Structure 1
Amino acid sequence: MEQPGGALVASERYGSAESWKYWAKDGAMERRRDGEQRQSAGSSVLRVFRAFCSSLSGTLATQASLRGVGVGNQEATVAAATLTWLLRDGTGMLGRIVFAWRKGRKLDSEAKKWRLFADGLNDVAMLMEIVAPHFPAFFTLILCSAGVFKSVVGVAGGATRAALTVHQARRDNMADVSAKDGSQETLVNLAGLLLSLLLVPLVTDDPPLTLGLFFLFTLLHLFANYKAVRSVVMETFNEARLSIVLQRYLRDGRVPGPAEANGREPLLPDFRTPVPIRLGVKLQDVVHRYPDQLDLALKGNNKPFLVGIRNGCVSVCLGPEASVGDEIRAACQALWLGGRLEAPTSRHENQNGHWETVHQSHQLMDDVFTGFLKDAEAAGWDVKRTLLDWDEWRVEWKTKSS
Structure 2
Amino acid sequence: METQNAFTIYEQDNSGRNIKIYDISFAENRTQNADVSRDLLLQTRLILPPFSKETRYKHYPMDFKNACGCLYASWLSELYYFNYQLFDSLQAFSSSIAGLLASRAVLEGVGVGDANATATNALLITITQDAISRLATILFAWRIGTALEPEAKRYRLLADIFNDTSMILDCLSPALPKSVRIFTLCISSAFRALCGVAAGGAKAALSVHFARANNIGDLNAKDSSQETVIGLLGMLAGSFIVARVTTSTSTWSLLFLLLFIHIMTNYLAVRSVTMLALNRQRATIVYSNFRATRSILDPIQTSKKEYVFARGGKLHDSMGGYIGQCKVEKSIQRLLLDDTTVIPQLLHILSREKYILSFMVHSGTAQLQICLRDDATSADHLKAWIHATELAHRVEERKTVYCSNKDMLDMIDEVYQNISEIFPVFFEGLKTKGWDVGCDFILTKQVNRFRITGSSRSSESKKDI
Between Structure 1 and Structure 2, which shows a larger proportion of helix residues? 1
The Cα of 1:353 is off from its aligned counterpart by 3.5
> Aligned pair 1:147/2:201, yes or no?
no
1:355 equivalent in structure 2: 409
Structure with more relative contact order (C-alpha pairs < 8 Å, separation 6 or more): 1
1:293 equivalent in structure 2: 342
2:206 equivalent in structure 1: 164
2:262 equivalent in structure 1: 221
Asked if the contact 2:299–2:434 (Cα under 8 Å) also holds between the matched residues in 1, the reply is yes
Alpha-carbon distance change, 219 to 162 in structure 1, aligned in 2, over 3 angstroms: same
Alpha-carbon distance change, 371 to 209 in structure 1, aligned in 2, over 3 angstroms: same
Asked if the contact 1:305–1:318 (Cα under 8 Å) also holds between the matched residues in 2, the reply is yes
Secondary structure, counterpart of 2:441 in structure 1: coil
Q: Distance in 2 between matches of 1:194 and 1:175?
A: 29
Supply the AA of the counterpart residue of 1:286. L
Asked if the contact 2:160–2:195 (Cα under 8 Å) also holds between the matched residues in 1, the reply is yes
Of 235, 251, 263, 1:193 maps to 235
1:386 equivalent in structure 2: 440
Q: How does 1:51-200 map to 2 (within 5 A)?
A: 81=122, 83-137=124-178, 138-200=180-242
Runs of at least 5 residues in structure 1 that lack an aligned partner in the other structure: 1-71
Of 438, 450, 463, 1:395 maps to 450
The Cα of 1:349 is off from its aligned counterpart by 2.8
> Over aligned residues, Cα RMSD in angstroms?
3.0
Runs of at least 5 residues in structure 2 that lack an aligned partner in the other structure: 1-113, 316-323, 457-462
1:120-170 Cα offsets, whole Å, 9 max, x none, are 221121111112111225212221111111110010000100010110110
TM-score, normalising length from structure 2?
0.64
Alpha-carbon distance change, 346 to 88 in structure 1, aligned in 2, over 3 angstroms: farther
2:384 equivalent in structure 1: 330
Pick the structure with greater CA Rg: 2
Q: Distance in 1 between matches of 2:391 and 2:129?
A: 45
Give aligned-pair identity as a percent.
28
The Cα of 1:183 is off from its aligned counterpart by 1.1
Q: Distance in 2 between matches of 1:362 and 1:158?
A: 40
Supply the AA of the counterpart residue of 1:329. K
Asked if the contact 2:287–2:386 (Cα under 8 Å) also holds between the matched residues in 1, the reply is yes
1:368 equivalent in structure 2: 422
Asked if the contact 2:361–2:403 (Cα under 8 Å) also holds between the matched residues in 1, the reply is no
Asked if the contact 1:165–1:174 (Cα under 8 Å) also holds between the matched residues in 2, the reply is yes
Of 356, 365, 369, 1:306 maps to 356
The Cα of 1:196 is off from its aligned counterpart by 1.6
Alpha-carbon distance change, 282 to 272 in structure 1, aligned in 2, over 3 angstroms: closer
1:280-323 Cα offsets, whole Å, 9 max, x none, are 64332334487643321123322122112379752222223333
Alpha-carbon distance change, 173 to 310 in structure 1, aligned in 2, over 3 angstroms: farther
Q: Distance in 1 between matches of 2:244 and 2:174?
A: 19
